[in-house]
Amino acid sequence: MSRQKKVAAIHTDYAKEQYARFQQQNKQIIFRRRRLAVVFLVALVIFGISGFRLVQDHQELQAREADKIALQKEAETVSTQKAALEKEVALLKDDDYIAKLARSKYLLSKDNEQIYPISESQTESQTSSSTDSSK
């Protein structure tokens, strides 16, 4: 009998009112906790989606910056090629340059001019022998 409940409940209107108020407070506490959990989960989902999108945007930005750098290098190469071609066009407008180019590339000659073609291997051997003899 020592383990049995020794306190008896009082069945008065005041006790019933207090018990009802206690039950209502417990329900409100449970409701608030659930509502707080739902709000926390919604906020967590929103922040999770925002964070995921932020990471994706950052990766896309990095990829576009890499593309931008590659395109800038390509544009620089194209501009140097364009400058070289413009220089060549300017040279091709010069009659003396065209005559020199025709003589060297196509072995054309002026009147009473003789051309002696020399291959590149012979010129290389002559330049190496001349540098050896100068030592």
Q: Which tens digits make up the pLDDT trace of 6-60? A: 777 778 889 999 999 999 999 999 999 999 999 999 999 999 999 999 999 999 9
- How many Å apart are CA 51 and CA 35, to the nearest integer? 24
Say if 89 falls within a structural domain.
no
- The answer as to whether 58 is a domain residue is yes
CA-to-CA distance for 131 and 126, rounded, in angstroms? Answer: 9
49 assigned to some structural domain: yes
Domain for residue 6, yes or no?
no
- pTM summary value: 0.49
Q: What is the pLDDT of residue 129?
A: 61
Distance between CA 15 and CA 8 in Å, rounded? 12
Domain residue limits at 65? 13-80
Residue 85 inside a domain? The answer is no
Q: Is the pLDDT of residue 4 over 90?
A: no
Identity at 13, one-letter amino acid code = D
Please check whether residue 40 lies inside any domain of the structure: yes
Domains of the chain: total: 1
Find out whether 16 and 22 touch, Cβ atoms under 8 Å. Answer: no
**76, part of any domain:** yes
Tell me the C-alpha distance between 86 and 80, whole Å. Answer: 10
45-97 pLDDT, tens digit each: 999 999 999 999 999 999 999 999 999 999 999 999 999 999 999 999 998 88
Q: Does 73 reside within a domain?
A: yes
Q: What is the dihedral angle through the alpha carbons of 89, 91, 93, 98, rounded to the nearest 10 degrees?
A: -120
